[in-house]
Structure 1
Amino acid sequence: MHHFKKILCGGLLLTSQILYAQPVAQGAQVATVRVDVLHSGNAKQEHYALDRVLIEPLPWPGNLKKAIDTSNRGVNLFEVRDRASGALLYSRGYSTVFGEWQSTAEAAKLDRGFQESLRFPKPNHPVNLRVLKRDDKNQFQTVWSVDIDTDAPDVIRKLPESKLKPIPIHVSGNSAEKVDLLIIGDGYTQQEMKKFVADAKRMSQYLFTVSPFKERAKDFNIWGLAAPTKESGVSRPSTGQYRASSLGASYDIFGSERYVLTLDNRALRDIAQNAPYEFIEILVNNETYGGGGIFGQFSTAAANNDWANYLFVHEFGHHFAGLADEYYTSPVAYQTGGEIKQEPWEPNVTALKDPSQLKWQQHVKAGTHLPTNWPKERYEEASRAYQKIRAELRKNNRPESEMSALFKKDLIDSTLLFSKDPNYHSIGAFEGANYEAKGYYRSQMQCLMFDRSDQFCRVCQDGISSIIDLYSR
């Protein structure tokens, strides 16, 4: 598609490398521009408005030679183009909290607004910023455009000084050549700062036991950051627990008791700007199982839960690589496409409209049936019983240890069921994925994006590796 290509303009081939070359050649660091926008609407309409443009305190952490996103991930894409020539300087795919809310029942009843931020290396000239969104054919179409001069008088250049300093958790080298992941703590008091650092190190160490992160650990820098709170933990409204936390992270987002997000983007970015980052994982200082992840925005995980390591990696899979959930028997707060089985943009699920064009065909052995048989009915029968018990435990506010024990039993039972099947290790197309029992397919019977097992399937590993490549080396 045109926005992923170099642009031929006036007989000259203009690329981001040329247009950013002057400060790089002089050895100077390029500043980080953040454009805060307001994204509002309802189930059928959406609107954008410019909020503010600012220069963040730290220089751009990324590699200017990899300014153009070729991954084709995300519901949205933003482009930064030179205003005079139209040359593409920078692009990144992403998804939004608004986009998830737009598919909830509430969005059919009222309008809401959400804050979002678009970050890019400061260009030498005025630019045109464009936000694109996928249409019903999965092609990106422009939905908003605004001209920005990053040297204009109203650009915020001086921000209040912060005492927050990034804590090195796992540092491999120059940020420009690494994936920079920032772990931010929410709901940690001043007395719990050592606990936050220990939690961040524990999660990071676990991340690097899971392939392909395991093999690519040297391509990552991980930093920690936490603004202390007066009370421990974050809000969980369904149980009457409210906390004034630094990021405003909360359970019960969009009515889902386990869904943890922050809707206060400004608070998030004002804290995050004190560290080099391209990706953010928020650790909430809570025991209750919960988390969330949005591609290109952030992910969250409950640090004190027995399944914290799994939550950290699973939700990071959403945020980092745009991986889809492969499960379909658990209730979620938002809806997918319903009866219209459009081919998903996510790399690990498919509508299988044409088996000969399967996304992961290179991994499918000759003779493998598509769709691929698996003990679907037996799994669904067991899952219905499990979900009923799970709902009762939450309804009665039972101790978290009982929920954890249920999760463990469910994983043991499903793994036992799958391991006896001849297709257990096969790569094919297994119906049931993307929150839908029918019409969507995953590549393997079991994966970290399907249940609480501890490894990604081969296809998810590929999807992660390609994003690591985009930001490193």
Structure 2
Amino acid sequence: MSKQRLTLIFISFSCIFSPHLKGEGIRFDDYFQNITMRVDYFHTGNNQTEIFAIDRIVNDGAWAGSLTQLQDRTNLGLYFFEIIDKEQNIVIYSRGFASIFGEWQLTPEATEYGTFHESVRFPWPLKPFILAISKRASDNSFQKIWQHEIDPYSRLVNPVELKLPFKSWALKDNGDPHSKVDIVILGDGYSHEQFEKFKADAIRLMRELFSVQPFQSREKDFNVRAIFTPCEQPGVNKPHPNIYARTPLSLTYGAFDSERYVLGFDNRTIRDVASIVPYEFMIILVNERTYGGGGIYNLYSTVSADNKFADYIMVHEFGHQFAALADEYYSSSVSYEAPSVEIEPWEPNITALKDPSMLKWKHLVEPSTPIPTPWDKETFDKFSYQIQIERNQIRAKNEPEEVMEALFESERKFETELIDKMKYTGKVGAFEGAGYNQYGMYRPETDCIMFTRNRQAFCKVCQEAISKIIDVYVH
């Protein structure tokens, strides 16, 4: 199974893709209303095909995004959508993103067909437009795979803003949403009686996020709001230990049959709830102690709020969602296919290093640092793979969560002491082992929150990537 072998199938009003111009100097008021349009669609396929079909088009609340940064030039994401003014044939808005479908397509399940509900959000166009979605090819270029014409005045477009009865409030209000990064925090598995707990969890985990650079120094560039969606009984769905629940947002452990992967597949409900407040990024707190979480670029991130390592999970998973940071670890098992070491990954913090002279973060490498950069990989790997054996045994025996937390604590102690003694720790280089690949893929530093649970810190490359995304929303 590989991305190169995909056959693409399109459902569209038009099957002809015509060239269009990049809109330069677009004035927001000339093309948009200060409202968010949300296009919901079904993304169907298997490991060979992709099919798109519109579900509905709705008002998704006030527009929170920039009024000036309308074109996405970050070159991030597995997918990329564009809003094209039909009359002038110019791109008036664009964003990169990733999706649950994109991950699922690389799992064993994808030999059969599956359907996932997805959304794209953008400022409400004043005139008829084309929504075009592209996918990244093996050469890292984007190839258009679907388009759909939309008339914002059509009777099929619902302009009414949704009103829901859930409580919402601001944790951080630093100014106009148009010039800030706007985060919404949702919760799942919190009972009606746990409103104060949800508030406390949200405050605690936001404190953790803004204790880490570069979020710490740029805290004033963020607004944070929270929405409370209570359920009858505390906890969410956990199929691996046979604990089942129905909750408002339908968050579940066991996504792609990975017991620690927490996702929500009821996209329509999640988006409807989030639309209560202005937002660009979404964090969902799960009222559970069992270790777990997830993060997908420009979708959402999830975190088990009561786990001892919730601070790590919070920051790590938000790194995925916010800045498209790749996992740098490789010893823990995942349900989907690891990226090919023959193809340069699009994520900013890992590389296949096919040409060291073109290293994507070479501007941060000191002349005295060798590329690739040596580190005590053999000792680290021997210990880390033994930890994974013990981890699997703990889950198989259904041991209490404190047993797993104790294992992770011993892992953190050993790895911190080992890495701190290495010659190039703290230096930017190219260290083999990253992106689920033990060999042939490289990360920027010996340690980072995208690599281990050792300490709450991003490496210099990840910090730079995060800062670039902040700039997209505040400038």
User: Is TM > 0.5 for Structure 1 vs Structure 2?
Assistant: yes
1:183, 1:223 within 8 Å by CA — same for their partners in 2?
A: yes
- Structure 2, unaligned stretches of length 5 or more? 1-18
Partner of 2:420: 419
Q: Which residue of 2 aligns with 1:308?
A: 310
Whole-Å separation in 1 of the counterparts to 2:284 and 2:266: 13
Deviations 1:54-95 (A, max 9, x none): 112x22111120111111100000000101111111100000
Residue 138 (str. 1) matches residue 140 (str. 2):
yes
Q: Which amino acid aligns with 2:115?
A: G
Q: Does the CA contact (< 8 Å) of 1:16 and 1:89 recur in 2?
A: no
Is the contact made by 2:339 and 2:345 (CA closer than 8 Å) also made in structure 1? no
Shift of 1:7: 3.4
State the Cα distance separating 1:396 from its structure 2 match: 0.6
Equivalent residue, structure 2, for 1:92 = 95
Listed one character per residue, the Cα deviations across residues 182-202 of structure 1 (whole Å, up to 9, x for unaligned) are 110011111001110110011
Check whether the contact 1:6–1:15 (CA below 8 A) recurs between aligned residues: no
Equivalent positions of 1:24-43 (< 5 A) are 30-43=34-47
1:158 Cα deviation (Å)? 2.8
* 1:61 and 2:64 correspond: yes
Aligned-residue Cα RMSD (Å) equals: 1.5
Structure 2 residue aligned with 1:48, among 37, 48, 52? 52
Residue 442 of structure 1 corresponds to 443
Asked whether the 8 Å contact 2:239–2:254 carries over to 1, the reply is yes
Give the residue type in structure 1 aligned to 2:428.
I
SS of 2:41 mapped into structure 1: strand
Deviation at residue 36 of structure 1 after TM alignment: 0.2
1:72 pairs with 2:78: no
1:378 aligns with 2:379: yes
Establish whether residue 21 from structure 1 lines up as the match of residue 24 from structure 2. no
The answer on whether the counterparts of 2:45 and 2:51 sit within 8 Å (CA) in structure 1 is yes
Hey, what's the Cα distance between the residues in 1 that align with 2:162 and 2:128?
Answer: 26
Q: Number of paired residues?
A: 456
Aligned position for 1:11: none
User: Kindly tell me: are residues 280 and 16 of structure 1, through their superposed partners in 2, closer, same or farther at Cα, counting changes over 3 Å?
Assistant: farther
- 1:364 alignment partner in structure 2: 365
- TM-score normalised over the length of structure 1: 0.94
Amino acid at match of 1:432: G
Q: For residue 161 of structure 1, report the CA deviation from its aligned partner.
A: 2.9
| Counterpart residue type for residue 302 of structure 1 | S
Return the alpha-carbon distance in structure 2 between the equivalents of residues 282 and 290 of structure 1.
12
SS in 1 for 2:288: coil
Q: Partners in 2 of 1:459 and 1:69 — Cα distance?
A: 20
Preserved contact between residue 16 and residue 88 of structure 1 (Cα < 8 Å): no
8 Å Cα contact 2:434/2:441 also seen in 1 = yes
CA distance in structure 2 between the aligned counterparts of 1:100 and 1:135, rounded to whole angstroms = 15
Distance 2:365 2:34 in 1: 44
Question: In the TM superposition, what are the counterparts of 1:16-415 in structure 2 within 5 Å?
Answer: 17-18=26-27, 20-22=28-30, 30-56=34-60, 58-108=61-111, 110-158=112-160, 161-338=163-340, 340-415=341-416
Q: Which amino acid aligns with 2:80?
A: L
- How far off its partner does 1:341 sit? 2.1
Distance in 1 of aligned mates of 2:176 and 2:167: 18
Q: For the residues of structure 2 that align with 1:188 and 1:98, how far apart are their CA atoms?
A: 28
SS in 1 for 2:68: helix
Cα displacement string for residues 224-257 of structure 1 (whole angstroms, at most 9, x for unaligned residues)? 0121111101100011111111111000000101
AA paired with 2:380? Y
What residue identity is the alignment partner of 2:21? I
User: Following TM superposition, by how much is the alpha carbon of 1:160 offset from its aligned partner in structure 2, in angstroms?
Assistant: 5.2
The letter of the residue matching 1:21 is: D
Aligned partner letter, 1:96? S
Secondary structure in 1 aligned to 2:403?
Answer: helix
State the partner residue of 2:3: none
- Which residue number corresponds to residue 9 of structure 2? none
SS at structure 1 position matched to 2:101: helix
Which has the larger displacement, 209-218 or 165-174?
A: 165-174
In structure 2, C-alpha distance between the alignment counterparts of 1:252 and 1:21, rounded to whole Å: 45
Q: Distance in 2 between matches of 1:341 and 1:292?
A: 26
Amino acid at match of 1:41: G
Q: How far apart are residue 415 of structure 1 and its match?
A: 1.2
Residue type matched to 2:223 in 1?
N
Task: After superposition, give the CA deviation of every residue in 1:116-138 in whole Å (9 maximum; x if it has no partner).
Answer: 00100011110000000011111
CA apart distance, 1:402: 1.1
Deviation (angstroms), 1:22: 4.2
SS of the residue corresponding to residue 320 of structure 2 reads helix
Return the letter of the residue paired with 1:80: I
Structure 1 residues 148-177: Cα deviation after superposition (integer angstroms, max 9, x where no partner): 111111111235531124211111111001
Q: Normalised by the size of structure 2, how large is the TM-score?
A: 0.94
**1:66 aligned partner, one-letter code:** Q
Alignment-derived partner of residue 7 in structure 2: none
Does the CA contact (< 8 Å) of 2:221 and 2:474 recur in 1?
yes
**Distance in structure 2 (CA, Å) of the matches to 1:61 and 1:16:** 20
AA of the residue aligned to 1:174: D
1:16 CA drift (Å): 6.5
Higher mean alpha-carbon deviation, 420-429 vs 287-296, is at: 420-429
Identity %: 43
The structure-2 alpha-carbon separation of the partners of 1:33 and 1:180, relative to structure 1 and needing over 3 Å to count, comes to: same
Provide Cα deviations, 1:13-39, integer angstroms capped at 9, x if missing partner: x54733x32488xxxx61110000100
Q: Partner of 1:7 in structure 2?
A: 21
- The answer on whether the counterparts of 2:136 and 2:143 sit within 8 Å (CA) in structure 1 is yes
Please tell me the residue identity of whatever aligns with 2:44. Answer: S
Q: CA deviation at 1:423?
A: 1.2
SS at structure 2 position matched to 1:313: helix
Deviations along 1:331-373, one digit per CA (max 9) or x if unpaired, are 00111234x5210110000000111111111111112111110
CA distance in 1, matches of 2:339, 2:214: 30
Equivalent position amino acid for 2:330 in 1: Y
C-alpha distance 160-183 of structure 1, shift in aligned 2 (>3 A): closer
